[in-house]
Structures are given as C-alpha cells and as structure tokens.
Amino acid sequence: MTQSFGLPTPSALAQQSTAPPPAFNDASMPRSIAGRLLFWFLVIALIPCAILTAITARIASTALENSVRNNLIQIAAAKATELEAYAQERLRDGTALSRSPSVINAIPELSATLEQSGVSLPNALRASSLSEPRPIDTFLSYAAKAFGYSTVLLIENSGRVVFSLDDSVPLGASLLSGTLATSELAIGFDRSRTLLQSELSTFQTYGKSGQPLAFVTTPIFLNGKVIGVLAMGLGPNRIWKVLSDLSGLGDTGEVITGERMGDNVLVTAPLRHAPDAAFRMLIPLGSAVGSTIQKAASGQRGYGTASDYRNQEVVAAWCYLPSYRWGMNVKQDATEAFALVRFQRMAIIALSLATIIGVTLAALIVARTISNPIRTAVAVARQVASGDLRANVGITSDDETGALLTAIQTMTNDLRGLIGRIQKSSVALISTATAIQATSSEQQQVIADYGASTSQAVAAVKQISVTSQELVRTMTEVNDMAAHTGAMAAEGRGNLSGMDGTMRQLATSTSSFGAKLATISERAANINLAVTTITKVADQTNLLSINAAIEAEKAGEYGLGFLVVAREIRRLADQTAVASLDIERMVKEMQYSVSAGVMEMDKFAEQVRVGVQEIGDVSGKLSEIISGVQGISGRFGQVTEGMRAQSQGAEQIREAMIRLADGAARTASSLNDFNSATIHLRGAVGDLKEEVSRFTT
C-alpha cells in the first residue's frame, strides 16, 4: 500500500497552468482533485487485493513446501524400508545356508584335511588345485551365484579360514590374529559365535581386489554346539542400485549415505554430482557442509533446509539405517524444490503492478473530467484578480460546473462596467485635487516668505537692542574710568611739581661742578705744554751733544776734552728728558681723567636738563587731561541716557515683531495642514485611479 505514496506527486500531473495562489497551498493531503481521487482509488482498490494476495500466497507456499517435504520423507522411508528388507533377506539366506547338512559336515572334514596337509596347507585346500571338485565347493559356489554373493567363507571355531571361494580373504588365515583381527569380518565372526545369530557387518575393503565387502556371518551348529561360522561376502552393487533410483527427485535430487569413521563421515555410495565418491569422500563431523548427512550418520532422523557437501542450499530428509549402521539422506536443491513458490511470488508482484497502473490511469481520467472546468473558472478568476476584465468563459457543459462558469461570466461583465465609470470619475477628481494643491502651495510660499522676512527683522532688532545695551554698559564703564583717570592725573601732577624743583637744583649743582673740572683740565693742559717745551729742549741738547761728540772725534787729540764735556751734557740732557717724560705721562693721565669726568658731567647735565623739560611737558599734558576728562564725564552721562532710551525702544519693536512672526507662523502651519490634506486627497485619488487602472476593460 505504501507504493501509492511513492508515485510522482499527483499535483505535478494535474497542474498545467501557472503556480496556484498561496490560498490553495496549505493542505497536507494531495492538493488537486486528481491527486485526491488517485489517492482514494488506490486505497480502495489495493488494500483488499493485497490482503487477499498475501493470504493466498501464504497458503500456496505452505502447501508447496509440505508437498516437497512429504515427497522427500516418503522417498526416504521407501528407500530405508527396501534396504532394511534386503538386509533381512540376506540374514535369512545365511541362516538357511548354515542349516544345510553339507555345510555342517564340511567343517570337520576341512579341518581334518587341514591337519593332514600340514605345511602345504594353502595349496591342499585350494579348490582350483584339486583334481575333482568336492561337493562342498559345488554347493557353495552355486549358492553364492544364486543369492548374489561374491564370495563365501567357512571359518573354524578357532578363527581359521578353512574355505574360501576367491582370494579376497586368504585360505588358512586366522581372524583372531594378524591383519584381519581388527577387520569388520572379525567383529562379525565374533558377534555371531558369541550371540548365536546372524549378523551383517559393515562394508570394508579386503584383499587386493579393492572391492568393498560386507559379510553376513552365521553360526554353524552341530549337535547344539557352535563348530564354525559361515561368512558370505556381499558387494555394494545391489544397494547402490537401490540408492541410484532417483525417481521423484527431479533434476538435482539425490540420495547420499554415509557411515561414521572416527571424527569423519565416510560416503558409502556413488553420488549424482560425484560418481566416484563411494568410500573415498570424507566429511568431517561438525563442519558446516553436509550437516544433514552428519546428523543421519549420528542416528538422527529429520527434515530441513541446509547446505550439502557442495555447499548448495538443499531441502533434505534424513534417517538412520540400523542394519548397515549408515545414515541416509534424501535431498533436493532448494532452487528446484521451491521453483513453484518463486514463480507464484513473481506472478503476484506483476499482477499488483498491473492493478496499480490501471487504477492510476482510471483515477487520472476521472479527475480530469471533473477538474478541467474548475481550472478554467480559476483561471478566469485569477485573470480578473490581476486586473484583466476581458476574460471570456467558454461554456461547454450544462452541469454544476457549467453553472459556475456562467455565474463568473456575469460577474466579470458587471465589474467591467463599474470599473469603467470609476476610472472616469477618478480622473476628474485628480485634476481638481492637483489644482487645489497648486493654489495652496503658492499661498504657503507667500506666507513662508512673509514669515522669513519678519523673522529677519526680529533678529535685526534684537541685535540692535543687544548692541545698545552693551554700548550703555561700556559707556558707563568708560565714564567711571575717566573719572578715576582724572583723579590719578591730578595726584601725578602734584608729585611732578615736587620732582621738578629737585631736578632744577641738581642741574644747577652739576653745572658748577663741570665748570670746576674744566678749570682743572685747562691747568693740566698748561702743565703739559711746559713739559713738552722741556722735553724739546732736552732733545735739542742731546742732539747737540752727539754732534759735538762727532765733531770732537774728528778733531782728534784736540777734541778729547771737548768730547768729555759733550758726554756730560748728553747725560744731563738724558736725565732731563727722562724726568720730563715722567711728568708728561702723569699730566696726560690726569688730563685724560679730567676730560672724561667733564664729558660725563656734561652728559649728566644734559640729561638733567632734558628730564626737567620732560617733567614740565608731562605736567602740562596732565593738566590738559584733567580738564578734558572733567568735561567728557558729563557728556558721557548724556550719551548713556540716550542709549538706554534707544535700547528700550528696540526692545518694544522686537516684541511687536515677534508677535507678528508668530501670527505668520500660525498662518503658515494652518496652510501647511491644508496643503498636506490636499496632498492626502490627491494621493488617495491617485491610489484609487491606480487601483482602477489595473483593470483592463
């Protein structure tokens, strides 16, 4: 049933026009009519069909499996019965033969012959070496042929073989010692002799022939006492023939037998898939492969599915054959056994798919007939919603959907007329609103200009008022300062007058000091003149004395005295010159000091004079200032008063202007309101027009 949800979405199949508006979109169920029809068709058709199919398939599978099982079990039972019957027959053969007098009599005879012949025992007893056949030879070879035995042995009570039809067991060999002591024949011999009944040993290979033999051992009685054992070798061919009859097992079925040998299971018959497996193939106990034959060889009985020696999935029935101590296993490959079940499953699936496809097609066709007119109506409605009123409904039927389409057609026609009238009215409204808005805008602009001018005037007047106030304040401060300055100037003038007198006295004393210094300087100059004169005289004297000395030398002897006089004169002149030089230097220094003092005194006197003059000037100016300041102070008072009056007037003007500006602002604001109302009106009309213009008539 879940397959119906995995199909392509029905809405995608049904939707051929544009995407649906969101209102159609909120359902969790299939959205379109086609989708919903499909969903319910599938639900109604498929649920009973699926339940019915499931039940039928279940019953059929069970029946098939049961038939396979019964078949296998029956075959297994039949084979087991047949083999057991064959084994019982052979035991009865042995029992019958052991009672025959020739066999009973043959044992002592053959024992006696064996005693006589001594060392050449084998040759003496060998039937083929005898010149004429003994009666026992003839009898036993005939019996073997008649019952299908490959060999017949006669064994003494002591375990010595005293008769043999062929070489598979050597004549004269002992079963209680040597290689044969552990053989199956020895076990059978021992059991028959002890239990006094016939026994069938398991198959084993004897001698050189390689042929597996099972011996039927039967005790031979003489006068109620066991004197020996009759052993008849039985080949496996007859059993294999039974097992190779595979009728009722199909192409892959087979019968497998095995016996336990230690930890392994030995396969004892040729297999369909391995013809030479007999007495060669070993299946280890506990391994995963061939588990059914392992169970059978362990004595169990059963039926089931398992993997065989080829590791193939098989269906098998197994049982135990006690006479042979074998497990038997009748099996068939699962693929063949259950082929019918698989075919049935495939048929059911194919049938289901065909049903789903048929139901889907039918649902789609039915849904299409219903949803087509509705979709047309939806398309028309959507066209009207998007504003196109030219839509025309082609009415095709006269059922319920036809009536719906007719109603839509009528509605569209009415709408078309109405919208046309609204469009015309809105155009007229818009032009009126535009005109109103333009007028109000102009008016608003005028008022705004008026308001701006008023504001500017207010600002200017306010500025004037502020400036006047500041001016008044400044003038007051200036007046105060002027009065203060006048007072200080008067005080300064008094001080200056005292200072002037002092300076004048200083100037007078400086002048007299300078005059005295000038006198000193003059005297020093006079001294200097005198010293210079002395120096010049000394110089002239020196010169005179030198020349005199020169002349005196030239005069030779006569001039010697004169030379001495000249030298003394020169020395005198030198001393005079030195003294005059000292005086000159001292006078010059004094003169220099005096002249420097004079110069400084002159400079000081000049400064004093200038100072006196400047003080006089300052004093005069101060007097002027004082008188000027006293005059100004009064006028400043008048100016301040005028300023104050002006400031008050400006303040009054400013208040009036502010009231005016308020009035203008109020007018502008009311005009603004009017204007915005007009804009709103125009916007509303524009919206209306836009809305209406969406419709195409």
Partner 1 sequence: MQLLTFTVAGQTYAIASRTVIEVLPLVPARPIPLMPDYVKGIFTYRGHLVPLIDLGRRLAAKPLAERLSTRVMVVEFDPVHRSPSSEPPSACVRLGLVAENVISICSALDADASFPAMELPDALFLGKLLRIRGQTIQLLVIEHILPPAILRGLFPATAEAKSP
Q: What angle do CA 506, 510, 515 make, to 5 degrees?
A: 155
User: Which residues contact residue 524 at a Cβ distance below 8 angstroms, ignoring those fewer than 6 apart?
Assistant: 587, 590, 591, 594
Number of C-beta neighbours around residue 10 at 10 A: 23
Closest residue by Cα to residue 547 from 532, 562, 561, 536: 562
Q: How far apart are CA 383 and CA 530, in angstroms?
A: 149
- Within residues 538-597, the interface with partner 1 by CB under 8 A covers 539, 542-543, 546-547, 549-550, 553-554, 563, 567, 570, 574
Amino acid present at 79? K
Tokens matching residue 616: 């006089």
Let me know the angle formed at the C-alpha of 132 by 128 and 134, rounded to the nearest 5 degrees. 85
Q: How many other C-beta atoms are found inside a 10 Å radius of the C-beta of residue 91?
A: 18
Gyration radius from the chain CA atoms: 83
* In the complex, minimum distance from the CB of residue 526 to partner 1, in angstroms, rounded to a whole number: 21
- 464: amino acid identity, one letter: I
By beta-carbon proximity to partner 1, the closer residue of 433 and 552 is: 552
Nearer to partner 1 among residue 452 and residue 560 (C-beta): 560
Question: Tokens representing 478?
Answer: 């200036």
Binding mask 223-242 for partner 1 (x = CB under 8 A): --------------------
Minimum distance, C-beta of residue 564 to partner 1, in the bound complex (Å) = 12
**Main-chain phi, psi angles of 289, to 5 degrees:** -80, 145
Query: At its nearest, how many Å lie between partner 1 and the CB of residue 549?
Result: 5
Residue closest to 230 by CA, chosen among 124, 181, 157, 174: 157
**Closest CA relative to residue 366, chosen from 41, 612, 111:** 41
Which residue lies nearer to partner 1 by CB, 545 or 675?
545
Max distance between CA atoms of the chain, in angstroms, equals 232
DSSP-based three-state secondary structure for 174:
strand
Helices 101-117 and 135-147, interaxial angle, to 10°? 130
**Residue 366 interacts with partner 1 (CB under 8 A): yes or no:** no
Q: Within its chain, how far is the Cα of 651 from the centroid?
A: 78
Half-sphere exposure of 552 (CA within 13 A, CB side): 15
Evaluate whether 213 touches 148 at the Cβ level (below 8 Å). Answer: no
Q: Is residue 279 a contact partner of residue 267, using CB atoms and an 8 Å limit? A: yes
Query: Which two structure tokens, joined as six digits, stand for 385?
Result: 């919603």
Token pair, residue 335, equals 């693929």
Q: Output the CA angle 407-409-411, nearest 5 degrees.
A: 70
Nearest-angstrom CA–CA distance, 137 and 126: 10
Pick between residue 15 and residue 545 the one whose CB is nearest to partner 1.
545
DSSP state of 603: H
Q: Site for partner 1 (CB under 8 A): how many residues?
A: 15
- What number of other Cβ atoms are within 10 A of residue 162's Cβ? 22
Binding mask 502-541 for partner 1 (x = CB under 8 A): ---------------------------------xx--x--
**CA nearest neighbour of 430 among 688, 695, 694:** 688
CB of 537: closest distance to partner 1 in angstroms? 11
Backbone angles phi, psi at 179, to 5 degrees: -70, -25
Query: How many beta carbons lie within 10 A of that of residue 545, not counting itself?
Result: 22
Pairing mode, if any, of strands 302-307 and 313-321?
antiparallel
Kindly state the tokens that stand for 278. 């007999």
Cβ pair 601, 519 in contact under 8 A: no
Joined tokens for residue 630: 């006293």
Nearest to 169 by CA among 125, 134, 218, 133: 125
CA-wise closest residue to 267 among 334, 212, 335, 186: 212
Tell which residue, 135, 173, 176, has the closest CA to residue 153.
173
User: Do the beta carbons of residue 13 and residue 365 sit within 8 Å?
Assistant: no
For partner 1, the binding residues (CB under 8 A) are 535-536, 539, 542-543, 546-547, 549-550, 553-554, 563, 567, 570, 574
